[in-house]
């Protein structure tokens, strides 16, 4: 009887395991400003700066492909990552390109140009890709110059970097390109 119970348990567990999704090729990641904010919250006796921003995005891999010819097309809207469109959340009012941006969540898109990326904050949330992109919901557009690098970034990466006490940048890198979005308050 114990053997039969064990066999049924193993079969049930195997069926449940088969319902789990495969590991995504472009895993989701997030970055905070200030950097490592959640870790800083648990550090004893360490002053904690206020949380200003968080970006959630998926990290596609280069995998030998020509990113800015095959995957990201010049002049076309891009979800700025893979899978769901990238979302940025501000926990306070900020400024981007001298435009006041209210506290809240936004979708972040890009359009690659010859020498810059046009970065776009949009109010449409929880969307897959850029298939239903609606320019009427744009909050701000800013052209950010491309910096060519000799080091190749295999996985699309987004990190915040401090500039001054009241400003930081969202650095985006993939393949041989880097772009920096300046943000202040």
11-27 pLDDT, tens per residue? 555 555 578 888 888 99
113-160 pLDDT, tens per residue? 999 999 999 999 999 999 999 999 999 999 999 999 999 999 999 999
pTM score: 0.85
Cβ-proximal residues to 78 (8 Å cutoff; 6+ apart), any chain: 72, 109, 110, 111, 112, 130
């Amino acid at each position: 009887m114990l053997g039969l119970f064990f066999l049924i348990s193993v079969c049930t567990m195997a069926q449940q395991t088969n319902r789990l999704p495969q590991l995504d090729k472009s895993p989701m990641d997030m970055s905070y400003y200030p950097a490592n904010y959640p870790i800083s919250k648990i550090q004893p006796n360490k002053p904690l700066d206020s949380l200003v921003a968080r970006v959630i995005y998926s990290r596609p891999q280069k995998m030998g492909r020509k990113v800015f010819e095959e995957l990201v097309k010049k002049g076309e809207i891009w979800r700025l990552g893979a899978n769901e469109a990238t979302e940025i959340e501000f926990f306070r009012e900020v400024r981007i390109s001298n435009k006041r941006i209210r506290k809240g969540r936004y979708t972040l898109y890009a359009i690659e140009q010859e020498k810059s990326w046009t970065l776009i904050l949009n109010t449409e949330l929880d969307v897959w890709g850029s298939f239903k992109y609606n320019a009427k919901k744009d909050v701000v557009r800013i052209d950010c110059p491309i910096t060519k690098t000799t080091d190749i970034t295999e996985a699309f990466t987004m990190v915040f970097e401090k500039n001054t006490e009241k400003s930081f940048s969202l650095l985006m890198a993939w393949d041989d390109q880097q772009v920096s979005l300046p943000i202040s308050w």
